[in-house]
């Protein structure tokens, strides 16, 4: 039986070792924890959205009035919004109480408070080195971490301290408990506790959703698994623990015949028995599928994208009563700016005034929001596939400056043409074409003809 | 748009508290509290020049109410006709407005545990009725009406007969309850019951001084930190992580 001690800190891996480890998945989160996490995330989303809109007083207000008015309109009345806020809050309290009561002994007290989020000496060193690194004062390697790193632990401690405050003050306000003075204190404590969590939450969301090195942590909240390589590099102490458990398991059930040689590179020969092949296979399963589809750096086949676009178009017709569009949104942005800069001109222009209705901003339209959704979707797609980068797409022969000039010239032509045709490729070509508008098909023929000719004329700039 | 106001003629008021009783019964005000209340000034001056009058306390529906700003949920609001309302669905009973009112016109209703005060009997006014206190006043000393209607009683009393607002050089927020009467009577009432400066609950003070800077500082610091990290990430580009 292999008895070599596990290393104290991660040792450099060879390419093959890293490859092998990246293929193996280790279970990080229980399904219940993942469900609780996303339930909690949804609650925070709803509660922050309604809570910040409920604070209307000039004295406490944090959100601009347009947001408060928008949310009020969305809920019909501010009272409805308050009732929703309270109902979701109570659901949150109940779920967490159940979790806290039934899981207190085995889970909350021992596992989480006592072990998973308790800071040890390595954590303090980790924090100080992190801080020094940002100041470029240190290039020491980071000390090995448990299943949660010191930053995550700090955030967890903050959250565990603040959640009871938020819950209790929320209940006091919702049911006007104890006395007026207590409710008065509850208001400011509620705001303070939420504000402090939000300050940490921003980092939490950023780390999970945007920061490249922690992407596996984000996906582990969906699949429950992380690659062994990630565990090895980021949560070494936890990895070691898992390995020791596996070793004990193998020793017990397979009489110590576990080591097959391929699996455990960082420990020399055979300190860590490999996971049996069929077991590893079973563990992989779904994350592999998810990865292949969403995380591949390659683009999807255009046919799939076409079907997806068609379904999206159908969905907007069903849900919004109108199709997709792009240039209309920009027209509306422009009208909003015009109405602000030169209201007299805008209101009396026969063209621009079409977009203005009394008492309503020209920005309140599906298209003006759709554009942001499209940007967000593109961002998520690029992020999932690891394509995020500031870059200028251009042909190899032209300079950046030429590229910018051509883009602006083309943009002006496109905008002008879109207004001539009363729609762009999305608004007229796609949405109009989908409802068999004659103008749309004529327009598309024109687009293809001009595009065919234009591409030939402009080929030098791209090839 | 109307601009509602109330005038009390101190020459007629006899301090009978009929208005208090009418109001309490109209709006089910719990015992020991009141939306409006008559306070005697006591006797002042030296014989034979003695003065005595009554102060009728109620919500003044000020032009610039001090109670709206500290209300966290926006439950206290002013409609365009000047009436300051409380939306009971939104009120959480925190008491910030009660502290803020310079005229102490508000109280926390112990039954519903929410703030309560005079609303010029808005539900009655909507139906074309007079406020309960005006209707019931035994001496016909109270008047209610629209200051923008030149034929109204209150217009004449305020703009022609010189009814006065209870204001001081310190607290001048445009109350819309006026007092009419002999100068020495009105002066005595105003001197005996001056409005106090709007107060902030201790909790609100702590929030303003310590908690808000703490929260904003924490959020600002983390936001700045991650913004720097994000731009760094964009500039450097991403390495496909470890796969």
Is the pLDDT at A3 greater than 70? The verdict is no
Q: How far apart are alpha carbons B145 and B5 in whole angstroms?
A: 6
- Our CA-based measurement puts residue A130 at a distance from the nearest CA of chain B, in whole angstroms, of 13
The tens digit of pLDDT for each residue in B36-95 reads: 999 999 999 888 889 999 999 999 999 999 999 999 998 999 999 999 999 999 999 999
Q: Which residue has the tokens 């207190």?
A: A104
Q: Tokens in use for A337?
A: 């700016």
Q: How far apart are alpha carbons B21 and A82 in whole angstroms?
A: 34
Write out chain A residues lying below 8 Å of B237, CB-based. Answer: 388-390
Indicate the helix (H) or strand (E) that contains A227.
strand A225-227
Exposed/middle/buried for residue A130 (C-beta within 10 Å: 0-12, 13-18, 19+)? middle
Size of interface A-B (CB pairs under 8 A): 141
- In this structure, the answer to whether residues A247 and A313 fall within a common structural domain is no
Q: How far is CA B24 from CA A98, A450, B80, in A?
A: 45, 80, 26
* Mean pLDDT (whole number) for A200-208: 86
B104 Rama class: left (phi>0) / alpha (psi -120 to 50) / beta: left
Q: How far apart are alpha carbons A67 and A334 in whole angstroms?
A: 21
- More confident of the two residues A135 and A410: A410
Q: Tokens in use for A303?
A: 């046919």
Is the pLDDT at A274 greater than 50? The verdict is no
Q: How far apart are alpha carbons B125 and A162 in whole angstroms?
A: 47
* Residues making up chain A, counted from first to last: 463
A184 touches B: beta carbon within 8 Å: yes
- Say if A253 falls within a structural domain: yes
- In this structure, the answer to whether residues A268 and A344 fall within a common structural domain is no
Q: Provide CB contacts within 8 A for A310, sequence distance 6+.
A: A434
Nearest CA in chain B to A60: B72
A178 touches B: beta carbon within 8 Å: no
- In this structure, the answer to whether residues A332 and A263 fall within a common structural domain is no
Q: Is the peptide bond before B29 cis (omega within 30 degrees of 0)?
A: no
Q: Tokens in use for A397?
A: 């022969």
- In this structure, the answer to whether residues A381 and A417 fall within a common structural domain is no
- DSSP line for A62-110: -S-HHHHHHHHHHHSSHHHHHHHHHHHHHHHHHHHHHHHHHTIIIIIII
pLDDT of residue A258: 44
- In this structure, the answer to whether residues A307 and A370 fall within a common structural domain is yes
Structural domain for A442, as ranges: 395-402+409-463
Closest of B103, B112, B87 to residue B176, by C-alpha: B103
The tens digit of pLDDT for each residue in A41-62 reads: 999 999 999 999 999 888 888 8
**Binary contact (A297, B240; C-beta < 8 A):** yes
**Binary contact (A176, B114; C-beta < 8 A):** yes
Closest of B202, B181, B203, B199 to residue B190, by C-alpha: B181
Lowest mean per-residue pLDDT among A21-35, A96-110, A404-418: A96-110
Closest of A243, A232, A238 to residue A29, by C-alpha: A238
Is the pLDDT at A298 greater than 80? The verdict is no
A15 touches B: beta carbon within 8 Å: no
A22 touches B: beta carbon within 8 Å: yes
**Binary contact (B230, A203; C-beta < 8 A):** no
Nearest CA in chain B to A182: B94
- Say if A328 falls within a structural domain: yes
- In this structure, the answer to whether residues A426 and A461 fall within a common structural domain is yes
Q: How far is CA A99 from CA A109, A198, A224, B138, in A?
A: 12, 23, 19, 64
According to DSSP, the β-strands at B54-57 and B37-40 are antiparallel
- Our CA-based measurement puts residue A337 at a distance from the nearest CA of chain B, in whole angstroms, of 28
Write out chain B residues lying below 8 Å of A191, CB-based. Answer: 207, 211, 215
pLDDT of residue B39: 94
pLDDT of residue A151: 82
- Say if A47 falls within a structural domain: no
Q: How far apart are alpha carbons A231 and A240 in whole angstroms?
A: 9
pLDDT of residue A110: 67
- Our CA-based measurement puts residue A145 at a distance from the nearest CA of chain B, in whole angstroms, of 18
Nearest CA in chain A to B111: A176
pLDDT of residue B237: 62
DSSP three-state, residue A222? helix
Write out chain A residues lying below 8 Å of B95, CB-based. Answer: 180-181, 183-184
- In this structure, the answer to whether residues A307 and A379 fall within a common structural domain is yes
Tally of structural domains, chain A: 3
Q: Which of the residues A14, A60, A159 would you substitute to probe the B interface, choosing the one with the greatest number of B C-beta atoms within 10 Å? A: A60
Listed as ranges, residues in chain B with pLDDT below 70 are 236-243
CA atoms lying within 13 Å on the CB side of residue A330: 15
Where are the strands (E) in A332-436, listed by range?
none
Lowest mean per-residue pLDDT among A107-121, A320-334, A446-460, B166-180: A107-121
**Binary contact (A173, B229; C-beta < 8 A):** no
Is the pLDDT at A259 greater than 50? The verdict is no
pTM recorded for the entire structure: 0.68
Exposed/middle/buried for residue A432 (C-beta within 10 Å: 0-12, 13-18, 19+)? buried
The tens digit of pLDDT for each residue in A349-375 reads: 888 888 887 777 888 888 889 999 999
- Which sign, positive or negative, has the C-alpha torsion A417, A419, A424, A430? negative
Q: Which of the residues B97, B239, B241 would you substitute to probe the A interface, choosing the one with the greatest number of A C-beta atoms within 10 Å? A: B241
Radius of gyration of chain B (CA): 24
Query: What is chain A's mean pLDDT, rounded?
Result: 81
Write out chain A residues lying below 8 Å of B230, CB-based. Answer: 206, 210
The separation between CA A141 and the C-alpha centre of its own chain, rounded to angstroms, equals 29
pLDDT of residue B103: 94
Q: Could you report the predicted ipTM of this complex, rounded to two decimals?
A: 0.86
- In this structure, the answer to whether residues A307 and A289 fall within a common structural domain is no
pLDDT of residue A5: 59
- Say if A171 falls within a structural domain: no
DSSP three-state, residue A26? strand
Q: Provide CB contacts within 8 A for A283, sequence distance 6+.
A: A24, A25, A27, A225, A275
Residue at which a domain ends, from A389, A424, A439 = A389
Orientation angle between helical segments A180-209 and B212-236, nearest 10 degrees: 10
Write out chain A residues lying below 8 Å of B209, CB-based. Answer: none
* Mean pLDDT (whole number) for A236-265: 67
Q: Give the model's confidence band at A297: pLDDT under 50 very low, under 70 low, under 90 confident, else very high.
A: confident
**Binary contact (A195, B215; C-beta < 8 A):** yes
- Say if A343 falls within a structural domain: yes
Q: Which of the residues A52, A75, A184 would you substitute to probe the B interface, choosing the one with the greatest number of B C-beta atoms within 10 Å? A: A184
**Binary contact (A389, B238; C-beta < 8 A):** yes
pLDDT of residue A171: 94
Residue at which a domain ends, from A389, A421, A444 = A389
Q: Tokens in use for A205?
A: 């969301």
pLDDT of residue A44: 94
Q: How far apart are alpha carbons A192 and A32 in whole angstroms?
A: 30
- More confident of the two residues A268 and A304: A304
Q: B130-136 long-range contacts, Cβ below 8 Å, gap at least 24?
A: B131/B6, B132/B19, B132/B22, B132/B23, B132/B25, B132/B26, B132/B27, B133/B19, B133/B20, B133/B22, B133/B23, B133/B36, B133/B58, B134/B6, B134/B19, B135/B22, B136/B18, B136/B19, B136/B21, B136/B22
A273 Rama class: left (phi>0) / alpha (psi -120 to 50) / beta: beta
- Our CA-based measurement puts residue A386 at a distance from the nearest CA of chain B, in whole angstroms, of 6
pLDDT of residue B211: 92
- Say if A437 falls within a structural domain: yes
- Say if A105 falls within a structural domain: no
* Mean pLDDT (whole number) for A398-416: 89
* Mean pLDDT (whole number) for A105-118: 71
- Which sign, positive or negative, has the C-alpha torsion A237, A238, A244, A250? negative
A199 touches B: beta carbon within 8 Å: yes
- In this structure, the answer to whether residues A289 and A306 fall within a common structural domain is no
- More confident of the two residues A106 and A184: A184
Residue at which a domain ends, from A295, A313, A337 = A295
**Binary contact (A186, B70; C-beta < 8 A):** no
- Say if A149 falls within a structural domain: no
Closest CB from B211, B222, B237 relative to A199 = B222
Is the pLDDT at A141 greater than 60? The verdict is yes
A202 touches B: beta carbon within 8 Å: yes
pLDDT of residue B234: 75
Please, are residues B100 and B66 in contact by the beta-carbon 8 Å criterion?
A: yes
Q: Tokens in use for A389?
A: 């980068």
First to last CA, chain B: 70
pLDDT of residue A4: 54
């Amino acid at each position: 039986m292999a008895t070599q001690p596990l290393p104290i800190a991660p040792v450099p891996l060879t390419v093959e070792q890293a490859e092998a480890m990246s293929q193996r998945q280790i279970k990080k989160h229980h399904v219940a924890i993942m469900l609780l996490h996303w339930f909690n995330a949804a609650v925070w989303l709803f509660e922050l959205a309604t809570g910040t809109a409920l604070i209307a007083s000039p004295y406490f207000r944090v959100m601009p009035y347009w947001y408060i008015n928008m949310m009020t309109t969305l809920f019909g009345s501010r009272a409805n919004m308050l009732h929703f806020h309270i109902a979701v809050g109570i659901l949150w309290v109940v779920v967490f109480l159940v979790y806290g009561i039934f899981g207190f002994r085995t889970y909350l007290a021992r596992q989480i408070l006592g072990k998973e989020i308790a800071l040890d000496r390595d954590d303090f060193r980790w924090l100080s080195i992190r801080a020094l690194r940002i100041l470029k004062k240190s290039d020491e390697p980071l000390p090995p971490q448990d299943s949660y790193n010191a930053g995550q632990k700090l955030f967890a401690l903050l959250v565990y301290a603040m959640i009871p405050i938020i819950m209790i003050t929320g209940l006091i306000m919702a049911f006007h408990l104890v006395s007026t003075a207590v409710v008065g204190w509850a208001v400011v404590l509620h705001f303070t506790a939420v504000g402090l969590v939000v300050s940490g939450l921003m980092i939490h969301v950023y780390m999970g959703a945007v920061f490249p090195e922690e992407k596996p942590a984000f996906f582990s909240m969906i699949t429950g698994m992380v690659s062994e390589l990630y565990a090895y590099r980021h949560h070494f102490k936890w990895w070691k623990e898992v390995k020791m458990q596996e070793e004990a398991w193998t020793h017990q059930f397979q009489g110590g015949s576990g080591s097959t040689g391929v699996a455990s590179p960082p420990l020399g020969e055979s300190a860590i028995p490999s996971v049996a092949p069929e077991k590893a296979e079973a563990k992989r399963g779904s994350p592999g599928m998810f990865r292949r589809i969403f995380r591949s750096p390659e683009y999807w086949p255009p046919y799939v994208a076409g079907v997806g676009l068609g379904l999206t178009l159908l969905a907007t017709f069903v849900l919004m009563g109108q199709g997709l569009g792009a240039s209309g949104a920009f027209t509306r942005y422009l009208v909003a700016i015009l109405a602000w800069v030169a209201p007299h001109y805008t209101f009396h222009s026969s063209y621009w005034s079409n977009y203005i209705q009394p008492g309503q901003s020209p920005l309140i339209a599906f298209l003006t929001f759709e554009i942001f959704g499209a940007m967000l979707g593109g961002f998520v797609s690029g992020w999932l596939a690891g394509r995020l980068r500031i870059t200028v797409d251009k042909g190899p022969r032209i300079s950046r400056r030429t590229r910018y000039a051509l883009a602006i010239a083309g943009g002006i032509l496109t905008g002008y043409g879109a207004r001539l045709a009363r729609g762009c490729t999305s608004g007229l070509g796609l949405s109009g074409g989908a409802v068999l508008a004659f103008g749309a098909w004529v327009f598309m023929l024109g687009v293809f003809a001009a595009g065919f000719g234009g591409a030939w004329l402009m080929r030098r700039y791209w090839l | 748009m109307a601009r509602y106001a109330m005038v009390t003629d101190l020459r007629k008021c006899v301090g009978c508290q009929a208005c208090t009783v009418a109001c309490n019964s109209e709006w089910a005000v719990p015992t020991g509290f009141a939306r409006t209340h008559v306070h005697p000034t006591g006797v002042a001056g030296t014989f034979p020049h003695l003065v005595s009058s009554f102060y009728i306390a109620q919500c003044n529906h000020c032009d610039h109410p001090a109670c709206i700003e500290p209300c966290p949920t926006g439950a206290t609001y002013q409609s365009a006709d000047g009436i300051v309302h409380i939306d009971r669905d939104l009120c959480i009973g925190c008491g910030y407005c009660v502290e803020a009112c310079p005229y102490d016109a508000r109280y926390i209703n112990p039954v519903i545990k929410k703030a309560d005060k005079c609303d010029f009997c808005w539900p009655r006014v909507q139906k074309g009725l007079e406020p309960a206190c005006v209707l019931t006043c035994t001496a016909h000393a109270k008047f209610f009406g629209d200051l923008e209607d030149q034929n109204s009683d209150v217009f004449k009393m305020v703009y022609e007969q010189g009814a006065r607002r209870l204001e001081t050089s310190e607290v001048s927020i445009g109350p819309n309850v006026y007092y009419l009467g002999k100068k020495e009577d009105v002066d005595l009432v105003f001197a005996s019951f001056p409005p106090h400066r709007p107060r902030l609950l201790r909790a609100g003070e702590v929030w303003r001084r310590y908690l808000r800077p703490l929260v904003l500082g924490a959020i600002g610091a983390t936001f700045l930190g991650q913004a720097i990290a994000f731009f760094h990430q964009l500039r450097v580009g991403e390495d496909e992580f470890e796969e």
